Structure 1
């Protein structure tokens, strides 16, 4: 591990030297690549420098203890020694986590698909609430959201909604949200007082760029039609809506939120490319069964991951057995405690596997 850390220390110095070269700013691609690499290496190198400083403190304190006779000074040195040793243990764990293999998709934007499952109108209403939860979470992190397509049920529920979240590290934090989300409550659509269980599915897909997935447009069939439902001027009066069919897989994507046919076509292509890229990732996940077992719920879309219980005001994440009694705050986008716990559990599982 320490040989690798020394190599990264040297590499960061090389990057900083290159960034100071006069011509580097005139080459945007090179400049951006260097800046990205620097941002990835800086936290590792900073932790390693602190680790080395603590090691030096331990050595110096031990030497001074051998020579010091004043009892008060000896107590101060012992305290300094104890603090440095304790920090060394913490930094060793931090460095192991920082050196874990990175998911190449972590820095990407995400496309989120939410679909109503079992429960009819109640499931659709819950899908709309979960959509708003993610929008509010994105706002809290200053990420931007962009609606791609929406299929409403007429009473404020969403049968299906697809949207994009643009922001640094969006996929790294939201990738654990894929799976079946379950709600237990007395439905708003019923007058009786019985608690019902409904489900929705959430799919979190990294936004695929052309370098990630080459899409053959010959495999795509485009149809245009007149948009329906709520809309501003021109939305319902021109053939601006686009239906995109991917012939090899049978995937169909409809986009009608923009007045421009070209913009709807572009959105549909972005969703299709990301969905096909995600299918490729899922296939790899299934092939790498051992790797899947060392991760916390980032693969299986049929996995029931979370329950939102309204009568008891609690949210339970079943993968890490975490229960929080603050349902309202979570539905208002306060997801950090759940996501941080999932990331920590994932890192712990990977560290344990690495140490086997």
Structure 2
């Protein structure tokens, strides 16, 4: 660990020199990246410097006990050792946490997409239940959730609903929700009282800006149409809704949240950037997948991750084998327990694979 920390300190000093060079200050994109790296490394270096000082003082105090005959000096050395030893352990734990490889997207806002899957009308109803669960969770976190586009199910809920979520550490928490969510219950449409299994898929994408994902607008076809649903006088009278089609990939994004066509276009473009980023990330993960596949990861939309069993009031996360029997509370947005456990499992996995525990 000390070797890694020393290398980080050397990089910190190098970045400190690079950041004041004229060529860095002339390139705002480069300057911003260096500035962010400097601040991130500064947190680690500050604790590392204190850790090195503690180690030096521990060595000095032990030498005094080994060589000093004066009783007063020996007592002072013993007292210092009693203070330094627990502080050394605290600093080691802090450094281990800081050395865990960070996902650079964790601090970003995100795009939340929920789609009804297998199960017909019941799947759409369940997609609606999941959306309300996330809506409630966002309220509890103090985050802002804005619906961009939706398609209602024929018996309630949503065939598809897309929203943006903004706030502190949004993607870093919600990314664990990506995947297939399965529900086991008696549907409202079931007359025989039989338990059915349905599913809905959740995709959580980090919101990317134009610097990170550059789109050639020559590859994008823009269509406008009349919005539907709530919206007052502008509904079905003005062409404010926007549909973007990315020709190289065939991706289609729609947005009718705003009355302004320009605002809908900007929001649709954000979603398109995030989906294009997801495609590139999937290619990268496939390339390195043979080397290491994360148990938790950021979630694959094709993996079954969680089951909601209504007859037993049970919720099970299959990635970490965690089960709770408080389904009503979970559906009311109390999913923080799962997210904390998933984050802990991922961090432990990262520490083991990166050798931080050594």
1:35: how far off?
A: 6.6
Q: Provide the residue aligned with 1:24 in structure 2.
A: none
- The SS at the match of 2:124 is helix
Counterparts of 1:75 and 1:288 in 2: how far apart (Å)? 56
Question: 1:122 corresponds to which residue?
Answer: 122
Aligned-pair CA distance for 1:76: 11
1:157 alignment partner in structure 2: 157
Please state whether the residue corresponding to 2:233 is helix, strand or coil. coil
State the shift of 1:133 in Å: 2.0
CA contact (8 A) 2:229 2:235 kept: no
Distance 2:205 2:149 in 1: 15
Q: Matched residues in 2 for 1:151 and 1:211: separation? A: 31
Q: What is the Cα deviation at residue 268 of structure 1?
A: 1.7
Which position in structure 2 is the counterpart of 1:288? 288
In the superposition, the TM-score normalised over structure 1's length comes to 0.83
For 2:265 and 2:182, locate their aligned partners in 1 and report how far apart those are by CA, in whole Å: 33
Partner of 1:268: 268
Q: CA deviation at 1:230?
A: 3.5
Match of 2:206 in 1: 206
Instruction: Output the CA distance in 2 between the equivalents of 1:31 and 1:121.
Output: 52
Contact 1:292 1:299 in 2 (8 A): no
Map residues 84-95 of structure 1 onto 2, 5 A cutoff. 84-85=84-85, 88-89=88-89, 91-95=91-95
- Name the counterpart of 1:301: 301
Give the aligned partner of residue 96 of structure 2: 96
Deviation of the 1:191 alpha carbon: 4.0
Q: Would you say 1:105 and 2:105 are equivalent positions?
A: yes
Deviation at 1:237, TM superposition (A): 2.2
Deviations 1:186-219 (A, max 9, x none): 2233344222111111111111211222212222
Higher mean alpha-carbon deviation, 249-258 vs 277-286, is at 249-258
The equivalent of 2:24 in structure 1 is: none
CA distance in 2, matches of 1:17, 1:220: 42
Give secondary structure in 2 for the equivalent of 1:279: helix
Q: Taking structure 1 as reference, are residues 328 and 66 closer, same or farther at Cα in structure 2, changes over 3 Å only?
A: farther
The answer to whether the 8 Å contact 2:115/2:158 transfers is yes
**What SS does the aligned partner of 1:227 have?**
coil
Superposed CA RMSD in Å reads 3.6
- The equivalent of 1:148 in structure 2 is 148
1:93-114 per-position Cα deviation (integer Å, ceiling 9, x unaligned): 4423322332232222111111
1:227 aligns with 2:227: yes
Mark the runs of 5 or more structure 1 residues left unpaired by the alignment.
20-26
User: CA, structure 1 residues 260+216, in 2 after alignment: closer, same or farther (shift >3 Å)?
Assistant: same
- Tell me the secondary structure at the aligned position of residue 232 of structure 2: coil
CA distance in 1, matches of 2:42, 2:142: 23
- In 2, are the aligned partners of 1:285 and 1:299 still within 8 Å (CA)? no
Q: How does 1:159-198 map to 2 (within 5 A)?
A: 159-198=159-198
Give TM-score scaled by structure 2 length: 0.82
Q: Secondary structure at the match of 2:234?
A: coil
Secondary structure in 2 matching 1:262? helix
Shift of 1:154: 4.8
**Number of aligned pairs?**
353
Structure 2 residue matching 1:228: 3-state secondary structure: coil
- For the structure 1 residues 303 and 239, does the alpha-carbon distance in structure 2 shift closer, same or farther, using more than 3 Å as the test? same
| Counterpart for residue 132 of structure 2 | 132
Corresponding residue of 1:328 = 328
CA shift, 1:155, in A, is: 4.3
In structure 2, runs of 5+ residues without a counterpart are 20-26
